[in-house]
Structure 1
C-alpha cells in the first residue's frame, strides 16, 4: 500500500555543491508523548538537522513538536506514521532535543546533521507501506543534486537488518520499540532516484520506507 506524502520543492537550479553528512543521533520510547534525542556531534552554526520520527499514532500537532523546528512533512495513515522536521543550527541549542508530541505511543527519532549545500530539502517522497519483511523506499524525482536519505521502519522490536539497501551507507539503527534505520547516499544526482529496499531479520505486520533528497 502506498500513501501519498507531502512534497517540497525548494530553490532553483544547482548553484552549490551538495551537502555532506556530519553525524547522526537516535532515540526511541515505547509508550510516551516525549522522545529526547542528543544533539549530533560536531554540529556547527549553519548546519541542517533533519529529524525523522516513526511512530504508531498521529503524534504531531498543528503547531509542530518543538520550538525552532519546522514540520516539513508527515504521513499519518497506515500502521507506521512518520513526520519529518528540520532545524538550522544557530549555536543556541542545548545538548538534547526533547520532542513533546501530541499522543503517547511508540516513537523512533533520528537526527541527521548535514553541512553545506543550500541547507534545505529538495524533495520528500511517498511513504510506501506493506505487509512484508522487506521495506521499500520508492523512487523520487530530485530537482537538484544532493544527499539522499532512505529511512525504513518495521512495526516490531528487536529486528536487525538481514539485507541492507545496495550502495547506501547506514547512519542509524534502532531496534527497541519499533525498529528503524536511516541510510545515506552522499552524492545523488538530479532526476529519478533508484528505489531502495531493506529486508529485516524477521517479519511483522507492517514495514515502510521513504526517500528524502537534501540539497
Structure 2
C-alpha cells in the first residue's frame, strides 16, 4: 500500500505529437516525455509495460542509448519547461495529423521592413494559428539583437537563457484560434532575428489518444499536441 501512495504522486508530462512544421508541411513528428517526480521515465517503462510496448521499448532500453528531448521541445509550457530534465523522444507517425489539419501555424512578413536613421531595423510580422482546434497558448522565443517590440508597451522583458544558448526574449500569446497576431520586432543592427514559434493544441489525434489510454492509473498524464517552427528575418 505505501508503494501505491508513492505512485499517486507521480506526474508525467507527455508532449504528444511534437511537430516541427511550416504552413502545410511536417518536417518531423515525435512523442516527447518528461516527468516531474523523483522517479524517472525508466521507472514508468518498467512498471507500465503497456506503455513500453506501445513505444516499442525493449528490456535493453537506457538513457545512454535513448534520444533526448531538449527544453525547446516543451516551449509551450514556459516557464515550467525549465523544471524538466532527461526528457525522452520517440518517433511518431504524422499521417493522421496531416489528415486532421488543413494548415499549421505560420509566421510571415506582412509588409516591407523599415530602417531608421540610427541603423535599427524593424520587421513587421503576422502569426496565423492555422486550423488548430483547441489552442491553449502560442509562445514566441525571439533570439537576436532585439532593441524593441510592439508587445507590452514596447518594453522588453529580461532575456532568458536555456541550455547554454544565446539570450532570448519569450512572449506568450492567448486568444481565439481564428485570430491572427500582427506585431513588429526591432533589431539594433542588420543581424538576423530568429523566432521560434510553439503553439499548444489540446486536441489529440486518435493514435495519441490510444497511447495516453495505456498509461496506468497511478500516472497523472498531461497530454497535448505542440506545433513548432523556426523563422529567420
- Give TM-score, length-normalised by structure 1: 0.38
TM-score in terms of structure 2 length: 0.36
Structure showing greater radius of gyration is 2
Q: Which has the higher helix share?
A: 2
Structure with the higher strand share, 1 or 2: 1
